[in-house]
Amino acid sequence: MTETLTSTKLVTGLEGVVAAETRLSSVDGQAGELIIAGFPVEELAGQATFEETVYLLWHDRLPDAQELISFRAALAARRDLPPATLDLLRTAAAQRVAAIDALRMAAGTLSLQGADDPEQQALTLLASFPTIIAAYGRLLQGEEPLAPRPELGHAANYLFMLFGRTPSPEHVRGLETYLNTVVDHGMNASTFTARVIISTQSDLISAVVGALGALKGPLHGGAPGPALDMVFEIGDAANAERYLRRKLEQGERLMGFGHRIYKVRDPRAEVLSAAAARMFQGNGHQALYQLSRQVEQTAVALLAEYKPGRNLQTNVEFYTALLLHGLDLTTDLFTPTFAIGRVAGWIAHCFEQQQLNRIIRPQSVYVGPKDRSWTPLRAR
């Protein structure tokens, strides 16, 4: 089949190229605005349960009381993992495989559940991610995985399976706010990957596994831990300016600052900062929160001094690291926990792409030679 080449303009990184229409999220980097299915993230994230947010993305409306009960029950019924998935996680833990790689491999085994229907696959993926990550986190610590509890919600169950105790309402609210905040964010690299895969009429599990591969990269979702490491290394607000100046003068990047889209403070950082402040009240982390705020203020001021005109502001990584640390998660679980939220967005985008039913097939511009002649092997 001959394809028509409509444009030969090269756009490195596809920046500014529109690849889809979506009702799922809108990102305005100049205004610092993120809209999730019609709701400003500041309004949705701190009030909705995660199940309500997922239902909103998948059905384009909030559920009523009975629909929410049914949706939670459908997820609870799919939290258990196949024996083969647990066997894989045990093998991965014995080799100390990175948690995000263990999640990617385990997600692929969910095809063993036997569901070909996209809706059933979607529920299985969403329900299984917390079980996979919690089981792997415990295996890395030399502990046995815990069975999910059907009476607990999505966020509460994840924390229970990790730590073996019923989480406090403050921790559950903090985690739900985080998951709601990161559930979708425009046509980012992992979302685009999922849409490309599903556009070939591949299956949902394959699309999500591909998205996980994109998320792993440190230029996408793989770098929230270093932002917290930087705060710990500073240790005291009095050390912040000297420490940060040294990094900038050595040409190093300040983790948790700067974003390809946002030219003002990332609205997700605003939401997570407020969530962390609420969660840390009275739990011993207040001093860390105050230190983080001071480090943030110093970093933003120095970035304006060293890189004028770049508008390098706080991004979601900075307060992601702080909030997840406050939940007692280890840094290797930060990116997989991000995936617990983002998988709902990936699936929603896949549903949109399936409705369009058109393969994503961009062009490339050939820049190699065209006049080579074949040389037999004996003459080379």
CA distance 263 to 29: 6
N- to C-terminal Cα separation, the chain: 36
Active site residue 317: yes
Residue of 259, 270, 325, 349 with catalytic role = 259
Residue of 171, 317, 325, 349 with catalytic role = 317
CA distance 5 to 8: 7
Amino acid at residue number 220:
H
117: exposed, middle or buried (Cβ count in 10 Å: 0-12, 13-18, 19+): exposed
Sheet with 39-40, edge to edge strand ranges: 25-28, 33-36, 39-40
Which residue shows structure tokens 């080449």?
5
How many Cβ atoms from other residues are within 10 Å of residue 12's Cβ? 5
Active site residue 15: no
CA distance 95 to 216: 19
365, 10 contact by CB (below 8 A): yes
Residue 40 DSSP class: E
215, 335 contact by CB (below 8 A): yes
Which pair of structure tokens corresponds to residue 375? 């040389």
What sign results for the dihedral spanned by CA atoms 19, 21, 26, 31?
positive
104, 216 contact by CB (below 8 A): yes
How many Cβ atoms from other residues are within 10 Å of residue 271's Cβ? 26
Whole-angstrom CA distances from 217 to 103, 148, 160, 214, 221 are: 14, 30, 28, 6, 6
- Cross-strand partners of 25: 36
Which residue shows structure tokens 């559930």?
183
CA distance 110 to 128: 8
- Cross-strand partners of 314: 257
Which pair of structure tokens corresponds to residue 362? 């961009």
Active site residues: 259, 317
